[in-house]
Amino acid sequence: MPTISVKYRDLCELLGRRVRWGSLKRSLMMMGIEAEAAGGELKLEVAHNRPDLLSVEGVARALRGFLGIEVGLPNYGLKNSGVVVRVDRSTRGVRPYFAGGIVEDVKLTDASVAQLMQVQDKLHETLGRDRRRVAIGIHDLDRVRPPFRYTTVSPEGVRFVPLDMDRELTPAEILGEHPKGVRYAHLLQGFDRYPLIVDAKGNVLSMPPIINGELTRVTAGTRRLFVDVTGTHERAVNQALVILMTGLAERGFKLGSISVKYPGRSLRVPDLKPRRKRLNVRAANEMLGLKLRVREAAEIMRRMRFGVVGARGDSLSLLVPPYRTDILHEVDLIEELAVGYGYDRLKPTLPKVATVGERHPLEALSARVRKVLTGLGFLEVMTFTLTNPRTNFELMRAEGEAATIANPISEEYTILRTWLIPCLMSVFRENKLHPLPQRIFEVGDVVLLDEGAETGARDVRRVAAAAVGDVGNFTYIKAVAEAVLRELNVSYEVKPLEHPSFLEGRAAEVVSEGKRLGIIGELHPEVILNFELEHPVAALELDLQAG
Amino acid sequence: MDLEAVVKSMGTHERKVLLALQQLGGEGDIADVAGRAALEPATAMRAALALQGLGFIRIEERKRTLAAATEEGLAYAKDGLPERRMLRSLLELGPCTPEEAASRAGLTEGQMRIALGWLRRKGWAVFIKQAGRTMLAPTRDGEAAAGKKQQDEELLELLALKSVEVEELPSHLRSELAVLARRGLVEVEQRVQRRLALTEPGERALALGLELVEEVSELTQELLVSGRWREVKFRRYDVAAPGPQLVPGRLHPQQEIIEELREILLEMGFVEIKSNLVESEFWNFDVLFQAQDHPAREIHASLSLSKPGRARLPEALVERVASAHERGVAGSTGWGYKFDADISRRPVMCSQTTAATIRYLASHPKPPAKVFCLGRVYRHEKIDYKHLAEFYQAEGIVMDEGLTLRDMLGYLKLIINKLGFERVRFRPGMFPFTEPSVEADVYHPRRREWIEILGAGMFRPEVLRPLGVRCPVLAWGIGLTRLIAMRLGLEDIRDVFCNDLRWISRTTKLKPSGG
């Protein structure tokens, strides 16, 4: 979940009143925001689907409603700024969508500049999918002259000073030298022209999605902002713009729209029109187990910052604020109703749903096997199914194929185990300084490649047991295997087996109804030494779902 | 304990020693007592110590310096010192060569040399020249010494009889001790002498009468069958003494808690289902209305597979799910992007057991149903004290007509209470596949804080409708690692998979309160 940090004072100023930290924290929690205080800063953890809460302004807006300070749909004035942005056809292949807007009467402090950077970063991370889907640029409008052009340029086709540099670079040089260029170069890989935003005189505002020009850097002295949003997903581009601009409006700044002219179509952005949605209060009550009247529901929804424009029968007609990108379905409104009502006020009820509990047969079998082996004095161990070819094959003198992780976390966990005995050997290695004899077992799954299986691999439940020390011999482990098989009512035969992991002439397979059920044997001296052990080891491994 | 009971509880050895001491007149050396009691000295000493512990005897220790003849000294005491034997020969033969005298006296060459030295030193004989030969002749002193025992000989004979305390030696012999010791004929050593003496309680104990019965340590078949067990006395054991440690076979502590949770859910009427370790992205994400470019699906969130390569999919369901993603379903807006079935076919390590409950709903769309799954899930996490890449999750669903969010809370509260947590708190949560969503915290009395324990919610219509489910479905999931760590009192969550055998054999689960 994304986390933002905000200043307590800043938040209270935006709320228009001072709320004690304890009660603030509790309100935030009941809105679904986890809050921690750390040295004058508040760390807020916000849900993935609520990009509108990624700024202190957005959080304050929601809190004002929740606390009843200001309810209903927020009203944002929007003037036509007259600014035009032309979108060049050449952007279509690399980054086709553009949106933007103007913010006037701006009064920034160091704190609000920091918030502006933060919301930009957080929108990049979440809605923007790390700038791939959406990238945002914020500029000092007074340093450049509209109309602007969203176009493309060849890697060496222009030179400008990027942010945080003191010399002019070409786009290719930026990708090679500028820290942001290096970090995001992969987004432009394979393209021979890069996106570029220029003003009427050809000054570079930005090279999306990489970096802005130093020319339009925003400072505490900036009075008018130009916001650009580019991307590959039109809906997300517009959502990011709306969330950013309405947040700024919460500080009392004035918003201005611009005209975006694509070849063959033109539109006015940002679009701050609320969406109309219906909420059926009866359906909501049924879902939540409440008996709210329509009027009560309307009041709650206004506290959640929805507009209520009418009620007909059980149905409320709502206006959804443009920044609420998470409202996809009526259930999303019902959840808002529940949050507004207060999760802490919902009394738990327990319905009767008549069903009979039943253990999974494989788990029932596993439990029986555990009982037999603990009865024989074996200790259960639990190891990871993730392993590596060295442990699973090489140290065991074995070969084979295994399901393989494409993006492993470490060299230790690159494949899925195909048998349990290597895991038990690793446990013996971990315990080699402890007294002998040791008897251990594991009941667990292995993963076998199988073209016939739906995913190409299937899990098999197995049991393996092993003994080291004077009990590490064939006779003993065979007796253990037979005790398990007898307890499970399996009829079986024991046949000689040649297996590289075991001593020649001291390995066997257990066969039942023509199928191999498992193996038993004394481990090969090389295997014992490979696992850094110095005493004889015998082991068994049986399938629990062969039949 | 009264005296009678103490006497009764006394072992045979103690009884024998006490009786022997009585026979010796109430006082005696440990060696004498042991001899009288017919016990090994060490056994008698152990018994004596026990008796001293009971207050029946006193043990006095005294350090003594003892002088005793060595083996060589004993031989000379019998046959006479070499110089004495040589003198005797000389007196018989008159002046003669040393060899003749030695031969007559039956001395070895070595003894002859010793004899010559001492003859000279004691002044008993001298060498004279006679007819050009060197001869040995007795002196006057020598003749006088014949038949008269010297002090050194007297001492040697005394010590040959028994060892004697140096201080008890007559003073005129004491000076000879050093000479004989230097000659290796006498040894002087320090010894601790233990004397036992009956005390007044000891005498009272004896007055009660001590019966001597045979004592045995083990009950044998022979004793049982012959009936002799009635006659013997079984040696009393020190029952508090530490013995060997036994390790019973037992379940892994993590497994025990998983079993406990399984029992709770079975009791509540949930049916158990199994999850797959390897899933397709379709069942792991798509069916759960997680957009294909959702951050949780990115490479750094889950473990993808390079082998196997492609999963088979239920094509008709894929179409319905794709359309829910692209355009929405049941009045939903959808995500508005182009669904890609190739992504759906990619195998992935199961990252949430919800995949299993959803598979169940797809094949059992009719209410009522209550199922649960306890399985391993995988995350692309660097393993540290707070994170594991592979861990257990419990998941459950309830499907029936008319279920509400409050019913959801009712189930959660019951499960949490059964897990042993008394206080629970609900707050809004966020999961892509449920709406409304809930997070539950439990109060940990020992740590005095609220701890997040599970997430839950009602499945979204975009999830249910493509599966053909028409009634509400409550769903919840518990990441078990933190819960298990809490129950086992572990700080480092990696330790829930600890395989230190001593830990496994000793660990018991805690009540959440730590009691």
Q: What is the CATH number of the domain that holds B380?
A: 3.30.930.10
CB of A259 closer than 8 Å to CB of A266: yes
- Per CB-CB distance under 8 Å, the chain B contacts of A335 are 428, 435-437
Contact A370 B255 (CB under 8 A): yes
Mean pLDDT along residues A433-451: 95
B 465-504 residues with CB < 8 A to A: 472, 497, 499-502, 504
Closest Cα in chain B to A431: B500
B295 touches chain A (CB under 8 A): yes
Residues B159 and B35 in one domain: no
The sign of the CA dihedral B91, B96, B101, B102 is positive
Of A379, A383, A401, Cβ closest to residue B249:
A379
Amino acid code (one letter) for B313: L
Mapped onto helix, strand or coil, the DSSP state of residue A480 is: helix
- Give φ, ψ of B313 to 5 degrees: -125, 155
Q: Do B405 and A385 touch (CB under 8 A)?
A: no
**Under a CB-based contact definition with an 8 Å cutoff, are residues B181 and B188 in contact?**
yes
Candidates A34, A336, A352, A455: best to mutate against B (most CBs of B within 10 A) is A455
Domain tally, chain B: 3
| Chain A CB within 8 Å of residue B312 CB | yes
Q: Does residue B134 share a domain with residue B50? A: no
Q: Note whether B26 and B83 are same-domain residues.
A: no
Residue B274 CB partners (closer than 8 Å, separation 6+): A360, A362, A363, B356, B373, B375
Distance in angstroms (rounded) separating the CA atoms of residues A114 and A117: 5
Q: How many CB pairs under 8 A join A and B?
A: 274
Q: Do B439 and B389 share a structural domain? A: yes
Residue spans of the domains in chain A: they are 3-66, 78-269, 275-341, 361-543
Predicted local confidence at residue B513, as pLDDT: 55
pLDDT in tens, A332-390: 999 999 999 999 999 999 988 888 999 999 999 999 999 999 999 999 999 999 999 99
Q: Where are the alpha helices (DSSP H) in B55-150?
A: 71-79, 82-93, 98-105, 109-122, 140-145
> How far lies A517's CA from each of A282, A441, A500, A545, in Å?
59, 17, 18, 9
Compute the distance between CA of residue A334 and CA of residue A298 in angstroms, rounded to an integer: 12
Which of B6, B5, B15 has its CA nearest to residue B43?
Answer: B15
Q: Are residues B30 and B157 in the same domain?
A: no
Residue B72 identity: E
B187 sits in which H/E element = strand B186-198
Q: Do B261 and B409 lie in a common domain?
A: yes
pLDDT of residue A377: 95
B347 neighbourhood in chain A, CB within 8 Å: 455-457
Q: Is residue B293 part of a domain?
A: no
Contacts with B349 from chain A: Cβ below 8 Å: 405
B366 touches chain A (CB under 8 A): no
B458 to A439: CB separation less than 8 angstroms, yes or no: no
Closest CB to A233: pick one of B333, B337, B428: B337
What single-letter amino acid sits at A59? V
> Is B298 a domain residue?
no
Residues B426, B428, B432, B435, CA torsion sign: positive
pLDDT tens digits for chain B (515 residues)?
Answer: 578 888 877 888 888 898 888 888 888 888 888 888 888 888 888 889 988 988 899 998 888 888 888 888 888 888 888 888 888 888 888 888 888 888 888 888 888 888 888 888 888 888 888 777 888 888 888 888 887 888 888 888 888 888 888 888 888 888 888 888 888 888 888 888 888 898 998 888 888 887 777 778 788 899 899 998 888 888 777 788 787 778 889 999 999 999 999 999 999 999 999 999 999 999 999 999 998 987 767 766 889 999 998 999 999 999 999 999 999 888 888 888 899 999 999 999 999 999 999 999 999 999 999 999 999 999 988 888 888 999 999 999 999 999 999 999 999 999 999 988 889 999 999 988 999 999 999 998 888 889 898 999 999 999 999 999 999 999 999 989 988 988 888 889 999 999 999 999 888 777 665 44
Interchain CB distance below 8 Å, B426 and A370:
no
- Is B306 within a domain? no
Q: Is the dihedral angle over the CA atoms A388, A389, A395, A398 positive or is it negative?
A: positive
Cβ neighbours for A314, distance < 8 A, ≥ 6 positions apart: A280, A281, A282, A283, A294
Query: What is the model's pLDDT at position B193?
Result: 81
Residues B9 and B104 in one domain: no
**A547 pLDDT exceeds 50?**
no
Q: How many residues does chain A have?
A: 547
Candidate CATH numbers 3.30.70.60, 3.40.605.10, 3.30.56.10, 3.90.1300.10; the one for domain A275-341: 3.30.56.10
Of all residues in chain A, the one with the smallest CA distance to B377 is: A385
Q: E strands of B379-445, at which residues? A: 390-399, 424-428, 434-444
Q: Are both B366 and B444 inside the same structural domain?
A: yes
pLDDT band of A157, cuts 50, 70, 90? very high
Give yes or no: residues B90 and B207 share one domain.
no
Residue B96 is inside which H or E element, if any?
none
Record: contact B280-A455, CB cut-off 8 A: yes
Q: Are B62 and B195 in contact (CB under 8 A)?
A: yes
Fold of A361-543: BirA Bifunctional Protein; domain 2 (3.30.930)
Q: Does the residue B295 lie in any domain?
A: no
Tell me the residue type at A422.
P
With H, G, I as helix, E, B as strand and everything else as coil, classify residue B109.
helix
SS (H, E, C) A66-92: HCCCCCCCCCCCEEEEEEEEEECHHHH
- What chain B residue is nearest to A452 in terms of C-alpha separation? B312
Instruction: Please count the other Cβ atoms lying within 10 Å of the Cβ belonging to residue A11.
Output: 20
For residue A293, give every residue at least 6 positions away whose Cβ sits within 8 Å of its Cβ, in sequence order, or none: A281
B160 in the same domain as B79: yes
Equal fold, A3-66 vs A275-341? yes
DSSP SS3 for A392: helix
E strand or H helix at B184: none
Say if residue B393 is in the same domain as residue B258.
yes
Closest CA to A206 of B260, A453, B17, A198: A198
Quick check: is B469 in a domain?
yes
Q: Which residues in chain B are contacts of A32 at CB distance < 8 A?
A: 427-430
Which residues 6+ apart lie within 8 Å of A82 measured at CB? A146
- Identify the three-state secondary structure at position B114: helix
- B308 closest CB neighbour out of A129, A357, A403: A403
Q: Do B249 and A378 touch (CB under 8 A)?
A: yes
Give the pLDDT of residue B166. Answer: 81
Looking only at the bridges linking them, the beta strands covering A502-512 and A493-496 are antiparallel
Range of the domain at B83: 71-186
Which chain B residues are Cβ-neighbours of A2 within 8 angstroms? none
| Token reading at A537 | 């080891």
Lowest mean pLDDT among A38-42, A178-182, B81-85, B435-439: A38-42
Q: What does the alpha-carbon distance between residue A34 and residue B439 come to, in Å, rounded to a whole number?
A: 11
Adjacent-strand bridge partners of A510? A494, A518
Residue A196 and residue A204 in contact, taking contact as beta carbons nearer than 8 Å: yes
Instruction: Return all residues near B235 (Cβ < 8 A) that are at least 6 apart.
Output: B11, B215, B216, B217
Residue keyed to tokens 């709406």: B435
**Which of B332, B260, B207, B304 shows the shortest CA–CA distance to A403?**
B304
**Amino acid at site A414:** T
CATH number of A3-66: 3.30.56.10
Tell me which of A521 and A113 has the higher pLDDT: A521
Please indicate if any CB of chain A lies within 8 Å of the CB of B277: yes
Interface mutation vs chain B, best among A33, A66, A324, A335, most B CBs within 10 Å: A335
Query: What chain A residue is nearest to B397 in terms of C-alpha separation?
Result: A353
B342 lies in some domain: no
CA–CA separation, B92 and B142 (whole Å): 12
Which chain A residue has the Cα nearest residue B276?
A: A459
Residue B157 is predicted with a pLDDT of: 86
| B365 to chain A, closest Cα gap in Å | 15
Q: How many distinct helices (H) and strands (E) make up chain A?
A: 15, 26
pLDDT for the residue B1: 59
| % of chain A residues with pLDDT over 70 | 100
Which residue, B390, B425, B179, is CA-closest to A409?
Answer: B390
H/E stretch holding B377 reads: strand B369-378
Same domain, B260 and B365: yes
Q: Can you read off the two tokens belonging to residue B390?
A: 């592979």
Q: Which of B499, B503, B506, B507 to mutate to test the interface with A (most CBs of A within 10 A)?
A: B499
Q: Which of A328, A405, A407 sits opposite B332 (nearest CB)?
A: A328
B345 CB neighbours in chain A (<8 A) are none
Residue B500 with chain A: CB contacts under 8 Å? 430-431, 434
Containing H/E element for B494?
none
> Mean pLDDT, to the nearest integer, of A176-199?
94
Please, which residues 256-275 of chain B have a Cβ atom closer than 8 Å to chain A? 259, 262, 265-274
Look up residue A435 and give its DSSP letter: P
- Which residues in chain B touch residue A349, judged by CB atoms under 8 angstroms apart? 404, 406-407, 409-410
pLDDT at B121: 87
Give the CATH number of domain A78-269; options: 3.40.630.30, 2.30.42.10, 3.50.40.10, 3.40.50.2300.
3.50.40.10
Helix (H, G, I), strand (E, B) or coil at B163: coil
CATH number at residue B78: 1.10.10.10
Q: Which residues of B are less than 8 Å from A438 in CB distance? A: 501
Q: Which residue type is seen at B32?
A: D
d(CA B281, CA B344): 5
* Of residues B390, B405, B430, nearest to A338 (C-beta): B405
Query: By C-alpha distance, which of B159, B153, B170, B152 is closest to B67?
Result: B159
Residue A70 has pLDDT above 90, yes or no: yes
Which residue, among A307, A252, A316, has the nearest Cα to A282 in the 3D structure? A316
Which tens digits make up the pLDDT trace of A188-222? 999 999 999 999 999 999 999 999 999 999 988 99
Across the interface, of B251, B308, B333, the residue whose CB is closest to A380 is B251
State the Cα–Cα distance between residues B428 and A201, nearest whole angstrom.
Answer: 52
Structure tokens at A75: 């009203």
Residues of B in contact with A405 (CB under 8 A): 303-306, 349
Which residue in B277, B288, B346 has the most chain A C-beta atoms within 10 A of its own C-beta, making it the best mutation to test that interface? B277
